Amino acid sequence: MKIGVIGLGDMGRLFARIWSQKGFDVYGCDVPGKEEELQRALPLVKILPDAVAVSRSCDVIMYAVETEKIEEVLRISGPSTKYGAIVTGQTSVKTPEIKAFERHLPADAQIVGSHALFGPSISPDGQIIAMYRHRCEEDAFEAVKQLYLSTGAMVEELESYKHHDQMMADIQVITHVGFESLGTAFMHRKAYPWEDKSQVQGIDNIKLLLTLRIFSYKPHVYSGLAFENPFAIKDVRKFARIENELFGLMITENKNALASRVLKARDKVFGERKAPYMLDDKLMREYTLNPGSNHKPNSHLSLLTMVCTWADLGIDPYKNMVCQTPPFRLRVGLAEYLFTNPDLLEESLKTAVKNKDYLIDDLAYHTAVHEWTNILELGDKKAYEKQFLATSNFLGDRLEEGRDKSTHLLNRLIHEGRA
C-alpha cells in the first residue's frame, strides 16, 4: 500500500516522517522548488514533483494543505486520483474540504474524514484524531484508522463533517478568540504582565503560556478555522455579546447582577462536579511567579466570559473533550479551577467591580475582544493577519518559550492522567 501526503508543511511532515519510519511506503510533495530540502528532511519519504504525481500513484492519499487552498489543490490533482484510492484530509474545517472532495475526486474514490486535534509540536502519542465516514466502505475507513493508530494516537469517531465543524466552532474558534484578545490587550497596554511578578499566580501564568502558544504559530492556522467554519461566527458573536454585558456590570459596580450571572453559569456548566480536577493547588503553586500570599487579584474576565458563553450556548465542555485540542483542554482546566474554588471566584467577582487598579487591563481586553469580533464579522482576512502578526511581533522572543512550557505542561497532565 502506497501512502501519499500532499502538503509537507508541519503537520504533513509529522505524519510522513512517522509512517516512513514505521516502514510504510510513503510518497509526498509540497510547493515546487522545495524537493531537495524536503528529501533531506524526510530521507525515507519519496518526494515527487507535484500533487498530480502523488494522487496518480498512491492508494491512500492525505491532503495536509491550508483550508483556503484545498479547493485549488483538489481542482488540479483530484481528477488524477488513482482508481479506487482512499482520500482523507487534515484541514481543520471540514465543510470546504468535503465540498472540494465531492467536486474534484472521481466517483470511485473513497472519502474518509479525519482531523488530528493537536499541533506538530505535540507528539501524537495519546492524542486524539477525529474520524468520520463520508463516502467510503468499511474496509477503507478501517485502513485509515489503522494508519492513524500506528502513530500512537487515539481515534474518536464522529457522526459527520457537520458534527465535526459544530464541535470545532465551540472548541477552537471561541477559545482562540479568547486568547488572541488577551495577547492583543497586552499589545495595546504595551505591558508584559509576567514581568510584574506581583500579579502572576499559577492561573495567570498558564493563561499567559497559552496566549504565547497560540501566537507562536502562523496566522493561517487560526484564520482558516474562523473564516471557513460556517458555525463559527455565531459562537464568536455570543462570546463578544456576553463579554460586553459582563464588562458593563463590572464598570457599573453591579456585583449582585454579576454574581448572579456568573453563579448561574457555574451551576449549569459544572453542576455537582467534584474533584479530581485537571489543575490543583499544588500544580498552580509550581506555576506561580510569586510564591506567597501577597498577589494582585484578577477579575479573570476572559474565563468568566468563556463559562457564561458555554452556559448560554448550552455547551458541555466535558462532552466536547472527546475532540479536545491542547488549548481547549487547558482552558477547561483553568475555568474549572476558578469556578470550583469558591474563595477564588468570590475574589474574582470583588476585583471585577471594586478594584480599579485592574480596570485598565479589563478595558484593554474588552476592546480587543470586539476588535477581533469585528474583523471576523467583516470576513477581513488581511486585517486578521495584520492584527495577529502585530500582536505576535509584540510578544516577540517569548513565543517559543511559551510554546515549549505549555507543551511540557500538557504532556505532564497527560502522563499523570489528568487530561
Q: What is the arithmetic mean of pLDDT over 405-419?
A: 77
Q: Which CATH architecture has domain 2-158?
A: 3-Layer(aba) Sandwich (3.40)
CA 75, CA 307: separation in Å to the nearest integer?
A: 42
Tens-place pLDDT, residues 36-86:
999 999 999 999 999 999 999 999 999 999 888 999 999 999 999 999 999
For the beta carbon of residue 277, count every other beta carbon within 10 angstroms: 17
The per-residue pLDDT for 17 is: 97
**How confident is residue 147, by pLDDT bands cut at 50, 70 and 90?**
very high
Rg of the chain over Cα atoms, rounded to whole angstroms, equals 22
Which cell goes with 389?
A: 502578526
pLDDT at 345 over 90: yes
Structural domain boundaries in the chain:
2-158, 163-415
Residue 63's closest CA among 135, 144, 153?
Answer: 144
Q: Is 20 left (phi over 0), alpha (psi -120 to 50) or beta?
A: alpha
Residue 275: burial class (beta carbons within 10 Å; 0-12, 13-18, 19+): exposed
Is this structure's pTM higher than 0.85? no
pLDDT at 333 over 80: yes
Of all residues in the chain, what percent carry a pLDDT higher than 90?
67
Please state whether the peptide bond connecting residue 276 to the residue before it is cis, i.e. omega within 30 degrees of 0: yes
